[in-house]
Structure 1
Amino acid sequence: MKINKNKINRRGTKAAGLVGLTLAFGLVGGIGLPATPARAAATWTTGNSTASGDQDNVAIASSRTGYTAIVWEDDRDSTPTDSVGSDVWVRLFHNGEPKFEKKVSAGGTAGKKWRHIQPDVGVDDLGRVVVVWADDPDGNGYYNIPIRIFDSAGKLLHSARANESSDGQQTKPSVAVDPDGSPPPGAGEESDPYNLEVSYAVAWEDRQGEAKPRIAMSRFVNATRRFEKVVSPTAGTNRNPDLAITAGATTTLVWEEDADANGTYNIGLTRLDKSANVVLKRTVANADVAGQQLAPAVAATFDGAFAVTWQGDKHIAWRGFTSTGKAVTGDVAVQTGEVTQPSIGIDGQSNVVVTWTTAGVDTFAQGFAADGTSTGRLPRQQLSSNTEGRQEGLVPAVNANGEVAVALTDDADGNSQDQIHLGFGLSTTTW
């Protein structure tokens, strides 16, 4: 781990770290508090309009102007429970009403085990949608990261590829879209917003030959690559990235980091401005470095405050930061037990909503204030349209106004073929 010279000392504070985590559970995590109703119950709809096949691995994004986009893997072949023959679909909603739905991947070579998997999505304030995924259309087992950009009516605007070189293996992409877009060349500061170009960043797990994986990212305007850069250490293992972007295209990245190859992971953290300058040197997001810290997710406000969540040893935790990268909280523990798949959203006041899956069958959410307390925030609750069968992979989209949309995969009838359920109408606060 190439973060600082205090790594050994921090590893040595296991007992102190556990004490801090225990306090977080007792005081601000809300563990053991009775669940109370949210201010408004979610209004649920089916995300995918065609029920045949298996819909998995949903991602969600929203804007302050009422747009919500979801993407998912959609497998409608004769064996829908595997990922062979999966395509990527996107659907856009505005104020809860569907705008368009379409397949964005292009199938694959006949007779080959082709796959389009691991999709992610972003949307800006004009309803322009950016979709990325890991793409193996010829079934050779090697993936690249395509990019597709659509307007709010579903018209394809731009196509690109996140990774400039197709050498090696590129998987697990994450995308974030600047809500304000970027003025076109030569435009003044007061450029007509409808002439703005789509500004976004993509991160992915990059593996070259027998080398350990590392984290790379590119920033784009429309289909033009502004830069591509390896952002993690090149030593050890660095994997499973997530990123968030501010208005102004400063990008915050997190990932599972084991740069010293000792088998123990922390949550790597760094930040780059729109020109690839590092504005937050590589560090770790988690305060307690005892045990394993995995599956990170990050969300950022317009002005750059951000929050990170992750899966620890049988618990979910999160931590908040200012726009300069200074920690606001310690590790705020959310839930203990057999918990997985954490995700997070943040509003304009740095209130957050954390979601997770418990024991692989039920999905939960809880809101917190910027200081880690939970009074007056979205109460901790089981959150899905029903509780029959298996629900998992709950992900939130929180806009600057505190409006919360959520999506999850649901297998209520136990046939191992999921549907995407989408919930609207929640809020980060209860007042």
Structure 2
Amino acid sequence: MTAFASLIVASTLVVSAAPVEVAAAEVTWATANSVATGDQDFPAIAANRTGQVAVVWEDDRSGTDPADNAHSEIYLRLFTNGTPVYEVKLSGGGTSGTAWRHLSPDVGLDDRGNAVVVWADDPDGNGVYNIPYRVVSPTGTVRASGQANASAAGTQILPKVAVDPDGTPNNAAATAFTVVWEDIQGTGPATVKAAGYTNMTTKAYEVSASQTTGEHHRPDVAVSASGEALVTWDEDADANGSYNIGLTRLARADGAVVLSRRTANSIGDGQQRTSAVAANFAGDFTISWVSDHTGSAGVWSRSFTAAGTARHAEVQTSTGAGAGGPTVGIDDRANAVVGWTVQGANPDVWLRGLNPDGTTGGGRLAAQALSQSTAGRQEQMAVTSSPWSEVGIAYTDDADGNLSDQILLGVGPTNAEWLTLRAPHR
């Protein structure tokens, strides 16, 4: 039985109608980074159906100023059933005497345990970024390296990656994935680009996922077993300064648009920004984002069928004001788990579960603070769900108030009562 499954009964006990805080005993906690010196930030997390969780982060273990991200490196750590398997540094430093940086990593994980990591890379410290990727084996060996953006012109930032869970047709051993990023060329408006790979170094396409008019920022991506890539982003195609959540789907073979570009949100008042998307094996997906159409910021969510049909209008997921940084996972029954950070004097990380129709209850996790400690700052929430609805979280923690963060990993909660009845998957 996995570390997730072994704590199922305890974690379902915390589900209630009102927000509650989960005691540390309900979750198996670990510090994702093995070296505690310096400052660790911006975690991302991914899970597969075989009990594995991958966590990636920015690591500035040699720095003395937590506010300065110069010389940050990218680290990846894989856990199986809650036990660490490996930790590996994936970036390569930079030019001596410059403020080189490796920033904003993301990770995807296939069902064989192969991880794909991307980040924004400025090894010469000139302020211009490209998007490298690494494919890492289940034992921590780098299997392939490359650069997602073919042209180094302009600057490429805020990458995201999603991995096909079961490889490609006629080649289940292939590690297939899609990378998206924000592309800025000179003084021109930002667009969203996507690059799809049918295997580690076999690039099938690089296309504009967004419209080419107006401004487009902060993409996210999800890939189902079909290999098609769902892409979301902050969309202002008409350049009127009002943002919606853009949505499209790209074909595996050539990046052609197979779900027409559209807005994921049905309410257009205010600003809709910073979306997160997750898809399951069959292609059902959930999108969460920040909206201020009620007068204060909150996280809203909407679920869709594999055909791209909305199951419901967006529902407010977060509780209280000041919620941001949405993150989302989804299981094979299309139950979603949504995380966010509540800002304030002592920021904290929250999550809740949703049914496919946007309702709560019925075994879904109630809205609750989910952190090991409430002292100091807990921020930058990242959440994932396995196909079995096993929930993993990662966030930055500064419980001692020294402004230097660690990356905490929590496993154990489940977002579905049915998980307690099934046989262990390993």
TM-score relative to the length of structure 1: 0.88
CA-CA distance at 1:277 after TM superposition: 2.3
CA-CA distance at 1:248 after TM superposition: 2.1
CA-CA distance at 1:182 after TM superposition: 2.0
Q: What are the Cα deviations for residues 90-126 of structure 1, in whole angstroms up to 9, with x where unaligned?
A: 0011111111001100000000010000100011111
* C-alpha distance in 2 between matches for 1:70 and 1:346: 17
CA-CA distance at 1:80 after TM superposition: 3.8
Q: What are the Cα deviations for residues 132-173 of structure 1, in whole angstroms up to 9, with x where unaligned?
A: 000000000000000111101111100011001111110100
* C-alpha distance in 2 between matches for 1:156 and 1:37: 37
Name the CA shift for 1:265/1:412 in 2 (closer, same or farther; >3 Å): same
Name the CA shift for 1:120/1:36 in 2 (closer, same or farther; >3 Å): closer
Contact 1:37-1:379 within 8 A present in 2 as well: no
Q: What are the Cα deviations for residues 251-279 of structure 1, in whole angstroms up to 9, with x where unaligned?
A: 10000011111111100000012022211
Q: How does 1:83-162 map to 2 (within 5 A)?
A: 83-162=69-148
CA-CA distance at 1:88 after TM superposition: 0.5
CA-CA distance at 1:66 after TM superposition: 1.1
Instruction: Give 1:211's aligned residue.
Output: 188
Q: How does 1:286-297 map to 2 (within 5 A)?
A: 286-297=265-276
* C-alpha distance in 2 between matches for 1:102 and 1:223: 20
Instruction: Give 1:392's aligned residue.
Output: 379
Structure 1 window deviating more from structure 2 (269-278 vs 196-205): it is 269-278
CA-CA distance at 1:329 after TM superposition: 1.1
**The residue matched to 1:143 in structure 2 has which SS?**
coil
Name the CA shift for 1:78/1:199 in 2 (closer, same or farther; >3 Å): closer
* C-alpha distance in 2 between matches for 1:36 and 1:149: 37
* C-alpha distance in 1 between matches for 2:332 and 2:371: 25
TM-score relative to the length of structure 2: 0.89
* C-alpha distance in 1 between matches for 2:33 and 2:352: 26
Identity within the alignment, %:
47
Amino acid at match of 1:379: A
Instruction: Give 2:27's aligned residue.
Output: 42
Q: How does 1:326-365 map to 2 (within 5 A)?
A: 326-335=309-318, 336-360=320-344, 361-365=347-351
Q: How does 1:299-378 map to 2 (within 5 A)?
A: 299-313=278-292, 314-335=297-318, 336-360=320-344, 361-375=347-361, 376-378=363-365
**The residue matched to 2:317 in structure 1 has which SS?**
strand
Contact 2:21-2:370 within 8 A present in 1 as well: no
Amino acid at match of 1:255: W
CA-CA distance at 1:33 after TM superposition: 3.0
Contact 2:302-2:314 within 8 A present in 1 as well: yes
Q: How does 1:230-241 map to 2 (within 5 A)?
A: 230-241=208-219
* C-alpha distance in 1 between matches for 2:158 and 2:178: 14
Instruction: Give 1:54's aligned residue.
Output: 39
Does residue 198 (structure 1) correspond to residue 198 (structure 2)? The answer is: no
Contact 2:22-2:369 within 8 A present in 1 as well: no
Q: What are the Cα deviations for residues 183-242 of structure 1, in whole angstroms up to 9, with x where unaligned?
A: 5xxxxx4x6x4xx11000000000111101000000012112110000101111100000
* C-alpha distance in 2 between matches for 1:430 and 1:402: 9
CA-CA distance at 1:42 after TM superposition: 1.3
Amino acid at match of 1:179: P
* C-alpha distance in 1 between matches for 2:284 and 2:93: 39
Contact 1:378-1:430 within 8 A present in 2 as well: no
**The residue matched to 2:212 in structure 1 has which SS?**
coil
* C-alpha distance in 2 between matches for 1:62 and 1:170: 26
**The residue matched to 2:325 in structure 1 has which SS?**
strand
* C-alpha distance in 2 between matches for 1:164 and 1:286: 32
* C-alpha distance in 1 between matches for 2:311 and 2:383: 22
CA-CA distance at 1:309 after TM superposition: 0.2
Instruction: Give 1:382's aligned residue.
Output: 369
Does residue 245 (structure 1) correspond to residue 200 (structure 2)? The answer is: no
* C-alpha distance in 2 between matches for 1:36 and 1:393: 18
**The residue matched to 1:299 in structure 2 has which SS?**
strand
